Amino acid sequence: MPMPTAPAPRPASAPVAALDIGGTKIAGALVDADGRILARTRRPTPAGEDGESVFGAVGAVLDALATSPAWAVAEAVGIGSAGPVDAARGTVSPVNVPGWRGFPLVERVREHAGGRPVTLVGDGVAMTAAEHWLGAARGHADALGLVVSTGVGGGLVLGGRLHPGPTGNAGHIGHLSVDLDGAPCACGGRGCVERLASGPHIARHALDGGWRPGPDGDASAAAVAEAARAGHPAAVAAFERAARALAAGIAATAHLVEVDIAVIGGGVAGAGEVLFAPLRCALADYATLSFARGLTVVPAATGADAGLLGAAAAARAPR
Amino acid sequence: MPMPTAPAPRPASAPVAALDIGGTKIAGALVDADGRILARTRRPTPAGEDGESVFGAVGAVLDALATSPAWAVAEAVGIGSAGPVDAARGTVSPVNVPGWRGFPLVERVREHAGGRPVTLVGDGVAMTAAEHWLGAARGHADALGLVVSTGVGGGLVLGGRLHPGPTGNAGHIGHLSVDLDGAPCACGGRGCVERLASGPHIARHALDGGWRPGPDGDASAAAVAEAARAGHPAAVAAFERAARALAAGIAATAHLVEVDIAVIGGGVAGAGEVLFAPLRCALADYATLSFARGLTVVPAATGADAGLLGAAAAARAPR
């Protein structure tokens, strides 16, 4: 009998299939070795339905991709999913998809995709992989990616490689406690970065400080950002508070694993300098050790396709 | 001309030389592949003298080791040094050794040790390497080591390997801010783990709460620990406060990089259950995410030789 041999390296030009699975939509794409999207599709996530129905939408996305000529040469599938994920077991339990609790997504996708190898990471890890491959963290061997939105997620690149951790959840910066006696967080902890810096918490902080939405009733963090740009003190204070929490979390990461760049994506990053200016100031207060002083913070560059590109990057990453 | 080739792997049995450099003493040893110490020596650190005089003590330690028959076959030198260190540049600037600021320790040791390869890491990284090789973190692919003493330091093992970071300082858990509006820390930050959990800060917290030293005047954290064991409320509260800060920092590390064990050494760890019992309770409050729930906290096992064994482990670590 022939001895088992190492798998042949993938041709550099072979595309991979990418899935970006969230609580509202399931996106899929075929992505080539240069990060070009050769085909794409999406379905709404039937988040309130049972697990098989949700997987039906994933299957429909894969079936649509399979109509592309590039599918035949796609050599692997990468999945970035809303968490928690468990890459060690190949399962997902997204908070906003109650029908999936320990759902064996890796095995089901592998079966549906003709036995291709499947890599699963959390959505924050996927975004970070995208920024390292094609975005603002390109060329940085040690980087933190953050997604600041309804929640706060993230991912890490260490020593030039994606660091998903054993279960695919590493980089969960939203649940670092930066205020150990602070307000209870939905995770069960206290004073988490997410509790201070997520979009909904920025809006709530501004409302508590006396800011009020305009005639359109928009009470989102984007509306608070607009008010902050116009100089409304409570809106400014809400972003300053979020910036300090993010700075403490980013500095903690730099002190722990020596990243030299933090890349911030997600809706709240769209606030621009209203967030980034106080964040840079606060970073100087917390990133105090000599080896962390070169740390920079920049906006993400891969935009709405970060999840798909990151899932593709994860599928290609050496493990 | 012959092409450059990869260096031959070190014989598994070859010893390495290890240096453990602190503000009060410089220890050296020859350590074999099983962690046995074949020869050892030490000198006081002439911490108040100029840089060359301090290096003179390092040279004397190396010279003493060179009288051992094992020196001839020692294939590398590992250094664990009080920080900050800069492993990328090969320099050290220990806070308590003012004569060394950017001192080129790696180059000087290499010259003194006949050109042997030299690996430099911070002392917290060295302790972690020792615990991973021979101590309580053995067999754990992802681990955090902490040294809780006059300061709070640490190190990381990720994916089965020591993770010193680009400059050899990764794992600096003492300067994670867990109280972003908290008391100023010596590092320039606020509410750092060290500011809440170091021995001197535990003692100060107990004094502020009304604890008083006994007739021997001992106001150390060890004396506070004794009082806490006897049930003195201010002493108990001081350890509970330190435990919460350590728990928040350890949980942050688990959420960021997915360690499943934290090993605590240093003088304050000698307090035993007075520290560890509230620490385990507090950890349940902060390590809330599914992938962090298996996290355990245990005392270090390598004792007073942790620095030397860790320097030896760092010299052997694949990079």
Q: How close is the nearest chain B Cα to the Cα of A4, in Å?
A: 25
Best probe of the B interface among A258, A260, A283, by most B CBs < 10 A, is A258
Residue B189 and residue A256: Cβ atoms within 8 Å? no
- Indicate the pLDDT class of residue A239, thresholds 50, 70 and 90: very high
B173, B190, B245: residue with CB nearest A285 = B190
pLDDT confidence of residue B318: 73
pLDDT confidence of residue B139: 97
pLDDT confidence of residue B4: 41
In a 10 Å sphere around its CB, with 0-12 CB exposed, 13-18 middle and 19+ buried, how is residue A207 labelled?
Answer: middle
Say whether pTM exceeds 0.95.
no
Amino acid, single-letter form, for residue B172: H
B166 in helix, strand or coil? coil
- Indicate the pLDDT class of residue A318, thresholds 50, 70 and 90: confident
Q: Is there a contact between A87 and A118 (Cβ–Cβ < 8 Å)?
A: no
Class of domain B16-127+306-316: alpha beta
| Residue whose C-alpha is closest to residue A284's, from A233, A313, A248 | A248
B159, B175, B253: residue with CB nearest A289 = B175
Average pLDDT over residues A199-221: 97
Residue B187 and residue A289: Cβ atoms within 8 Å? yes
| A89: pLDDT strictly greater than 90 | yes
B295 in helix, strand or coil? coil
Residues 6+ apart with CB under 8 A from A153: A83, A122, A123, A124, A127, A146, A147, A171, A172, A173, A174, A266
Amino acid, single-letter form, for residue A74: A
CATH for B138-301 (3.40.50.2300, 1.10.1300.10, 3.30.420.40, 3.40.50.300): 3.30.420.40
Q: Chain A contacts of B167, Cβ < 8 Å?
A: 258, 291
H or E stretch at A31: strand A25-31
| A7: pLDDT strictly greater than 50 | no
- Indicate the pLDDT class of residue A13, thresholds 50, 70 and 90: confident
Per-residue pLDDT of chain B (319 residues; tens, 9 = 90+): 344 444 444 445 799 999 999 999 999 999 999 999 999 999 999 999 999 999 999 999 999 999 999 999 999 999 999 988 999 999 999 988 999 999 999 999 999 999 999 999 999 999 999 999 999 999 999 999 999 999 999 999 999 999 999 999 999 999 999 999 999 999 999 999 999 999 999 999 999 999 999 999 999 999 999 999 999 999 999 999 999 999 999 999 999 999 999 999 999 999 999 999 999 999 999 999 999 999 999 999 999 999 999 999 999 987 5
pLDDT confidence of residue A12: 56
CATH 3.30.420.40 intervals, chain B: 16-127+306-316, 138-301
| A8: pLDDT strictly greater than 50 | no
Residue A170 and residue B258: Cβ atoms within 8 Å? yes
B84, B141, B288: residue with CB nearest A189 = B288
Residue B180 and residue A258: Cβ atoms within 8 Å? no
Nearest residue of B to residue A257, measured between CA atoms: B170
pLDDT confidence of residue A5: 43
> In this structure, is the dihedral angle defined by the CA atoms of residues B231, B235, B241 and B245, taken in order, positive or negative?
negative
Q: Chain A contacts of B189, Cβ < 8 Å?
A: 251, 285-286, 288
Q: What is the pLDDT of residues A114-148, one digit of tens each?
A: 999 999 999 999 999 999 999 999 999 999 999 99
Phi, psi for A120 (deg, rounded to 5): -115, 130
Q: How far apart are CA A20 and CA A37, in angstroms?
A: 13
Q: How close is the nearest chain A Cα to the Cα of B84, in Å?
A: 7
Residue B177 and residue A178: Cβ atoms within 8 Å? yes
> In this structure, is the dihedral angle defined by the CA atoms of residues B6, B12, B16 and B22, taken in order, positive or negative?
positive
Residue B291 and residue A173: Cβ atoms within 8 Å? no
> In this structure, is the dihedral angle defined by the CA atoms of residues B8, B12, B14 and B17, taken in order, positive or negative?
positive
pLDDT confidence of residue B13: 74
Compute the mean pLDDT over every residue in chain A, rounded to the nearest whole number. Answer: 94
Q: What is the pLDDT of residues B7-62, one digit of tens each?
A: 444 445 799 999 999 999 999 999 999 999 999 999 999 999 999 999 999 999 99
Q: How far apart are CA A112 and CA A105, in angstroms?
A: 10
**What's the CATH number for A136-300?**
3.30.420.40
B244, B252, B291: residue with CB nearest A167 = B291
pLDDT confidence of residue B260: 97
Give how far the C-alpha of residue A104 lies from the chain's centroid of Cα atoms, to the nearest Å.
21
CATH 3.30.420.40 intervals, chain A: 16-127+306-316, 136-300
